[in-house]
Every structure is written in C-alpha cells, then in structure tokens.
Structure 1
Amino acid sequence: MEKIFFVASILILSIWAIPVHSNYYSKSIPYDPIQLKKTHLHFYLHDILSGKNPTAVQISGPKPTPNNPTPFGSIFALDDPITEGPELSSKVIGNAQGTYLSSNQGKDLNLVLSIDIGFTAGKFNGSSISVFSRNPVTEKHREIAIVGGRGRFRYARGFIAVNTYYLNTTNGDAVLEYNAEIIHH
C-alpha cells in the first residue's frame, strides 16, 4: 500500500507543472568601432601526400590512383608546415591544420578547405587565421577566404591570394605561395 501511495505521489508531482513566465531578453549597446588593422603576410605552405612522413593523409573516399591522387569525394586531414621561403628547409613559422575535400567531379581539381593557419614564430606567435573556402587548384592564381582568427587576428576577415609554386600531379605534393591580406582588431 505504501509503495502504491509513493508511486502515485511521484506521478502527481511529476505531472504538476509550475507556470514559469519569462520574456526574451536582449540588450543592444551602441557599437564603438575599434581601430581596425590591416596586415599583409607572405609565406609558403607545404602539402606533402607522398613519402614516409606525409603532412596530409586521406581519411575517407575513393582510392587514389597514380593519375589522380585526390579523387572526387576524398577527405584529407592535414598538418602542413608553413615557411618563410619556398624550400621546406627554410624557417618554419607555423602550420596549417584542418581538412580539405576534393569536390569536383570534372577533370579540374577543386578543394573545399577548412583550415586553421597557426603561427609559432615571430610577432604573431600564438595567433591564427581561419580559412573556409573553395580552392580551384588548377588555376594558377586564386583567392581563398579568411573567415576568422584568434590572438592578434581576433575578428579577422580577408583573403589569401594563392599561387601554386610547385605541384607534382603524380603524387599530389604541392608548395603554395600565400599572400594574405587580413583586416582585424
């Protein structure tokens, strides 16, 4: 009998609703624009798919072939070094980490990039810029979008003019020249 009373009490208490009245709350304050800065950065990104220590590896998608190292639907994870010069032996100033997706069914290679370019040297050490953009790789000169940043690049917006410095179409290895124009606080 006590168990029935206990269960009934629990049911009644769980059904009993206490009305709560609340309103949507928001507060707007006048925007006081902070002086924006414009920074130009020039560096090289090394995307290496071949060898014993690749900096980008396929994590999903169709099997690469000798004629197509990045087939449509392939997803790659990357941790690419960025350097001051085009040689891999030049000073490393950071790395690009994230993913890219091979997104074109045609003969031209298009990637959709989702990467964070973090700086580990110089006055931007500890800061990064975030890129989310389409990258038509077969075009010699192209632009990709900067959509955010952190550290000294907080609230970053801008673009990166990308130039293919070197591309091995057999194994997919590439060296890309990046000229970034960044507007930030």
Structure 2
Amino acid sequence: MARKTPALPTQIFLLFLLKILIPSTTSINDSPQLTNMVVYVQDKTSPPNATEVPVAGIAGNLWSFTSFGTIYVIDDDLTTTVDRNSPQVGFLRGIYIASALDGSSVYVSLSMLFTNGFFSGSTLELQGTSVLASQLREVAVVSGTGKFRFARGYATFETVFVDTADDNITTTIDRNSDMIDHAHGIYVASTLDVSGVYVAMSILFTCGDHKGSTIELQGSSVFEMEFREVAMVSGTGKFRFAEGYATRQTTFVDQVMVMGQRLNITRCKIKS
C-alpha cells in the first residue's frame, strides 16, 4: 500500500539552533572541561536531496511527526551560522520516532559527527524526548567519542524555520498543464504551537494578458483549515494598487513531497 505524505510546501528548510553544555574529557583520568557550543542543523525534508525522510510507519496512515509509529532517518549538515552556505563543522545523523499516541512529541536518537575544527573526528550522542510544541526542546547528551569520551550534559533545539518558495502556477490541477506564472516568497513558522505559518508571497505572471505583472500576498496560513485565506496587499503592472484576498486549498500531495494547491484570487482590481 502506498504511504500517505503530509501536506507541506515543496521545499522546506528547517534550521535548528543547538545549545550544548558538556563536561568533556579525553580520558577517564583527565579533569572534565565544561564546553558550551552553538551549531546549526540544516535540515531539508523534500526532494531533491532531502536530508530527512520517513522510512516506516503504520500502513494507510499519514506519515508525519504527529502520526504514531512513523520513523524518520536524518543526515543533516552542521554549520557555524544559520546560513546554509556557512562553514560546515560536521553532520547530525540518526532517527526520530513518533512514539506519542497524541502526536505531542518524538523520540530522538542522534549522533553529532564533527569533521572540521578542534573536535574533528569526535562525536556527541544525543537521546531523549522532543516535545514538538516547545520553543526549546531539551534532550540529554549521553556520551561521546574522541574528545567527548564520557561526555554528559544536555542540548536544546530551537527551530529557526524559514521556508523559501519558488513554485510553478498552472491553469489546472495537472502539473503538466500550461504554466502561467511563478509564486516566489517565504513561509515562516511564527507560531509557538506550530499551528500555522506567516506567508509573504509574490505571484509573477510570465505569459498571457498579465505577463510581467505581479500580485503581492501576505498573511497567516493556518494548517488545519481547508481554505487558507491571505490578503492581497498590492501589485505591479496591471495589478498596481490591487486589493482583495486569495484562498489556497491543498488538492493533492504526491509521494515525492510535491503539493498541489488551488489559488483563488478574489476582488482584485485590474488596471485597464
């Protein structure tokens, strides 16, 4: 049976800020050294080159972080800053398991492998329960290798989520139908309870009567709503001074994390 995948934007980049406090030792007899560390995990959940993928789950159920029994494997880059192009210091590899029946948390077992810098060749082992609705999600540092042998401490994950959008807009639900424009912009997870995202999007028309014009959309998108309404705040070309609203409806999500949405533009003033 084909698995179901969650309704998510086509490209999702999750940036996690880790704050780690570890007594690290190089041997049993050495005195512990207290180490504070901040690194960023560059996590991508959709093709191409996804670094986090669901590999198992209950047949017929949605495979997601809130669906009991779903198992994810990850292989994310560790960088020095939030910029994904900043220097890489290692990898974060391991598993997430949706082990809470109510979907409130996941079990994590992760290994941080350092490949550059002072800790190159060493690892840190993380384990614990990550509560999804928490702004800071704390797990234990249970051990390590190399310069982190016998390490103990804790790590906190903080999501610094920015999702860039660059989607094709077509005339029908068929992705192979005529393309009329692109949707460029960002999704920002700005709610602590993960109930929605802030949307700032520009629709650029590339053919037809409105070629070269844009429509600017802005607002909050609540995940659980079938129709997600945002404001039309302005535009360019034939949509100068445009006002109105747009509703988005998810029409399909395929197995490679591509989502189809129906976008309805309403009460839009068009320049004659």
The verdict on a shared fold, with TM-score over 0.5 as the criterion, is yes
Larger radius of gyration: 1
Aligned residue in 1 for 2:131: 136
Partners of 1:38 and 1:64 in 2: how far apart? 44
User: Structure 1: where are the runs of 5+ without partners?
Assistant: 1-31, 169-173, 175-185
Tell me by how many angstroms 1:81 deviates.
Answer: 0.9
- Structure with more of its chain in strand, by fraction: 2
Partners of 2:88 and 2:61 in 1: how far apart? 29
Aligned residue in 1 for 2:44: 48
Return the letter of the residue paired with 1:44.
Y
One of 79, 87, 106 as aligned partner of 1:111? 106
Partners of 2:78 and 2:38 in 1: how far apart? 10
Moved more, 97-106 or 140-149: 97-106
Question: Which of structures 1 and 2 has the larger relative contact order (alpha carbons within 8 angstroms, sep 6+)?
Answer: 1
Q: Does structure 1 residue 60 correspond to structure 2 residue 74?
A: no
Tell me by how many angstroms 1:154 deviates.
Answer: 0.6
CA contact (8 A) 2:106 2:132 kept: yes
Aligned residue in 1 for 2:151: 156
User: Structure 2: where are the runs of 5+ without partners?
Assistant: 1-27, 164-188, 190-272
Return the letter of the residue paired with 1:114.
S
Tell me by how many angstroms 1:107 deviates.
Answer: 4.8
- Calculate the aligned-residue CA RMSD, in Å: 2.2
Count of residue correspondences: 135
Moved over 4 A (4+): none
Partners of 1:164 and 1:103 in 2: how far apart? 20
Counting aligned pairs with the same residue, the percent is 29
Tell me by how many angstroms 1:151 deviates.
Answer: 0.5
Secondary structure at 1:123 match in 2: coil
Tell me by how many angstroms 1:46 deviates.
Answer: 2.0
Secondary structure at 2:118 match in 1: helix
Partners of 1:45 and 1:114 in 2: how far apart? 15
